[in-house]
Structure 1
Amino acid sequence: MSGSALPVWLPLLFSGVVVSGGSGSGVGGVMQAVRVAANRLSARVNQVRFRVVNVGWVAVCFMMPSSYYHKGALWPSVTECGSTIHPVTALPSTILSSISEFLAYCLPEKAGLTIFPASRGLRRGRFCKMLAGEAVMAAKILGFSVPVGGLWAEAIDGLRGSVPGSCQVLVGKDACLAAIGRIDVLVDGLLDSADLERAIKLQALFVPFVGVDHLPVAALRSRQVQVYNCHGNAFPVAERALALALASLGRIVEYHNDLRNGQWHGFAAGHGRRDYWQSLQGKRCAVLGCGAVGQALAGLLKAFGCPVAGFRRQANAPPPAGFDLISDRLDDILVDAKLIFITLPLTPATRGLLGRRELALAPGACLVNVGRGDVVDETALYESLCDGSLLGAALDVWYVYPPAGSTMARPARLPIDALPNVVLSPHVGGHSAEAAAGNIRQTAQNLRAWLRGEAVVNRVDLEAGY
């Protein structure tokens, strides 16, 4: 065996390539051969990718979960070499040891690694047989730190066909915490820094909802843990935003409370314009955040004949359905808007995005927030509601939350919740049976794709924070 790369060959159990050595390019060629083969040649069998390299006097087989195929950090980019990999010298044991160390460094400890001594008489069939008998991928542990039973039980049962038989599945928070140091893949929305530090083998974290601002993002980024969230609750959250807008414009809560005390309004009370409520029909709406929730909301607003302008950082792409205008200039979106909907996540770029100056661009507007409270400066919001710069606000997200184990807390440091022109909602936009089912279904879809080595939607950009 000498010269350049042999064609790809397909034994029954795996696919790979044999790269043979000869004389020439030395250790640099070995490294290039290993890297090129690792990057370019793979086949999926039972959710495992097999790659085979034969370099000089060493045949290397490395087997890895298909998910690693997407983790570019493990396999540095290499310039394409066409169909030929440059030959390398016959290697002494010291060089073989270096190759072994190189591969051990590149491959995570969860992947199996076997190095076979090669010879000129090594036949492909015998090589295949050796691989089938001796190279075995270490078992993975999948943890579902979720409620036991119900919809999750159905989703997990449905996933079992996508999980390699050697994998172990743990269900329930207690079971996952007990084995946190051995878990490779975790479904959990509340992972904290202490548990992450113990999760030394964690490769991927699936958050079964949208928000990730409460996670130890910096630690996840430094550990290169893949994080995925889901948007299965987008329509219910958009529906909640619409309901809050209608409640605020329609003075629903105000009139409800008055009538419970016997106080009438409108015609029956002989009142005129002072008891008017406002219709949503045809009002200019600014939607900050054009993701799944923003897009669902834009579609709902179109039923009321509302022109909809959307704010997002990347404005070059065509507007999604339901939007009449997309811009990355916040001022352009806010000017003359009668409703401001916030669906943005909380990131360093969005914290305090709306202050006194921004709110003044839409005098008399109603602000609806189903994103995160701190996207709007608390003092600016309170003052704008008090002096009439804003007509009103309907808030599902807040500035203060109950401490762990309690259900009691005022939702803001300033008395926003005491103002008569504010509709209150306790962060329940995604808290419905339909939203839960959507999130579970999408999380299961994401995990199934990951296990199969397919592209997964909703990969969280840990640098951007969403």
Structure 2
Amino acid sequence: MKIAFHGTNAENFHPGFEKLLLGSYLIRSLSDELSEPAERKYFEEAEVIVGTSLSNAQPRPTQARLYQVAGAGYDGIDFSCLPPKCTVCNCFGHEDAITEYVMSAVLTKYVPLAEADKKLRKGEWDYQAGRPEGLRRECSGTAIGIVGYGHIGSGVARRAKVFNMEVHIANRSTLTVDHIIDHYYPLADLSTFLAAVDVVVVALPLSNDTSGLIDQQAFAAMRPDSLIINVGRGPVIKEKALYEALKDKQIGGAVIDTWYVYPTDSNDTSYPGNYPFHTLDNIIITPHMSGWTWGTISRRQGVMAENIHRLEKGEPLLNIVKRGEY
């Protein structure tokens, strides 16, 4: 069986992968461009492709039986470019890393370590205990609102509970209030949900239903000191609405990890949006890094190897997003 790791992102999962497989396989990492004839030929003949992007600009993988997305999001895969028999699966394993990122972002609102450090380096003791100007609110007892209750959203909720936060969930499917969830809202009641929380975490994938869900009306419903964090997909939040809400100080701030503009190659130094977010002082911008850890790599490799074993044995695959036709 030929296995192809296609592109820079997928290539990160290749080292050590052979040790996870039972049996002998042909495995090769291929460039994003597939510029060499031998690469194109191998890509066309591979039965398993691990990748994150597939379009009409690339050769057709005519022998593919499994397209294993090297992550959770599959909006970069054009299913029409795959043979009908090919099943598409994604993988997760990033929720621990992302929940750590989210809780770090939440704590920036309540524990101003960077600001205190910056001031003290200039001899300013504003945050010293005993000074009234240094008093601050604790994270404990505040309300966190999570939009989307999948792998990431549920992980964030569990961690937030450890910090004694009140957990509010807005979700498409109905949820039951329990020892983790304090309040549930349908997405149709988004404004009420947003008005009730101090921190908003967007953890939704991008779809026709979620694109632009957080718009100007949503920002108008938020508390004036609220913090919004996006670890889902950038366009779930309307870009112009986000920029204007921050520029006009309509909300307290934002921590954004998923974007509207991405680099085309490693030499591309483009800014991540169509608006100058980098000039604003009430936003932390990061380069889609929240789930990128060695732990994520290892967990995803395990799922990929398991799916290859299942494919060979004719067993049901894990995390199917598009089932092949037989």
- TM-score over 0.5 for the pair: yes
Q: Which amino acid aligns with 2:51?
A: D
Q: Please say if 1:323 is aligned against 2:181.
A: yes
**In the TM superposition, what whole-angstrom CA distance separates every residue of 1:117-137 from its partner, at most 9, and x where no partner exists?**
xxxxxxxxxxxxxxxxxxxxx
Q: Which amino acid aligns with 1:340?
A: V
- Report deviation, 1:350: 1.3
Q: Which amino acid aligns with 2:30?
A: K
Q: How do 1:248-263 residues align onto structure 2 when only pairs under 5 Å count?
A: 248-260=109-121, 262=122
Q: How do 1:19-34 residues align onto structure 2 when only pairs under 5 Å count?
A: none
- Report deviation, 1:224: 5.9
Q: Which residue of 2 aligns with 1:423?
A: 284
- Report deviation, 1:210: 1.4
Q: For residues 177 and 257 of structure 1, what CA distance do their matches in structure 2 show?
A: 52
- Report deviation, 1:336: 1.4
**In the TM superposition, what whole-angstrom CA distance separates every residue of 1:238-279 from its partner, at most 9, and x where no partner exists?**
11111112124433444444445x162524599644x55442
Q: Which residue of 2 aligns with 1:137?
A: none
- Report deviation, 1:428: 0.7
**In the TM superposition, what whole-angstrom CA distance separates every residue of 1:423-442 from its partner, at most 9, and x where no partner exists?**
22221111221222222222
Question: Sequence identity of aligned pairs in percent?
Answer: 25
**In the TM superposition, what whole-angstrom CA distance separates every residue of 1:346-366 from its partner, at most 9, and x where no partner exists?**
222211110111122221211
Q: Which residue of 1 aligns with 2:34?
A: none
Q: Structure 1 regions of 5+ residues with no counterpart?
A: 1-139
Q: Which residue of 2 aligns with 1:194?
A: 57
Q: Which residue of 1 aligns with 2:42?
A: 179
Q: Please say if 1:355 is aligned against 2:212.
A: no
Q: Which residue of 2 aligns with 1:238?
A: 99
- Report deviation, 1:199: 0.9
Q: Structure 2 regions of 5+ residues with no counterpart?
A: 32-37
- Report deviation, 1:319: 6.2
TM normalised by structure 2 equals 0.84
Q: For residues 259 and 408 of structure 1, what CA distance do their matches in structure 2 show?
A: 33
- Is the contact between residue 237 and residue 429 of structure 1 (CA under 8 Å) also seen in structure 2? yes
Q: Which residue of 1 aligns with 2:35?
A: none
**In the TM superposition, what whole-angstrom CA distance separates every residue of 1:151-174 from its partner, at most 9, and x where no partner exists?**
74433332234xxx7xx5222115
Structure 1 vs Structure 2 CA RMSD: 3.0
Q: Which residue of 2 aligns with 1:455?
A: 316
Q: Please say if 1:311 is aligned against 2:142.
A: no
Q: Which residue of 2 aligns with 1:345?
A: 205
Over 3 Å counting, the alpha-carbon distance change for 1:322 and 1:192 in structure 2 is farther
**Across the two proteins, how many residue pairs are aligned to each other?**
313
Q: For residues 216 and 356 of structure 1, what CA distance do their matches in structure 2 show?
A: 31
Q: Which amino acid aligns with 2:164?
A: G
Q: For residues 150 and 394 of structure 1, what CA distance do their matches in structure 2 show?
A: 26
Q: For residues 12 and 258 of structure 2, what CA distance do their matches in structure 1 show?
A: 28
Q: For residues 246 and 455 of structure 1, what CA distance do their matches in structure 2 show?
A: 42
Q: Which residue of 2 aligns with 1:43?
A: none
- Is the contact between residue 11 and residue 29 of structure 2 (CA under 8 Å) also seen in structure 1? no
- Is the contact between residue 293 and residue 343 of structure 1 (CA under 8 Å) also seen in structure 2? yes
**Secondary structure of the corresponding residue to residue 180 of structure 1:** helix
Over 3 Å counting, the alpha-carbon distance change for 1:199 and 1:279 in structure 2 is same
Over 3 Å counting, the alpha-carbon distance change for 1:155 and 1:323 in structure 2 is farther
- Is the contact between residue 232 and residue 440 of structure 1 (CA under 8 Å) also seen in structure 2? no
Over 3 Å counting, the alpha-carbon distance change for 1:302 and 1:202 in structure 2 is same
Match 1:160 to one of 22, 25, 42: 22
Q: Which residue of 2 aligns with 1:169?
A: 26
Larger Rg: 1
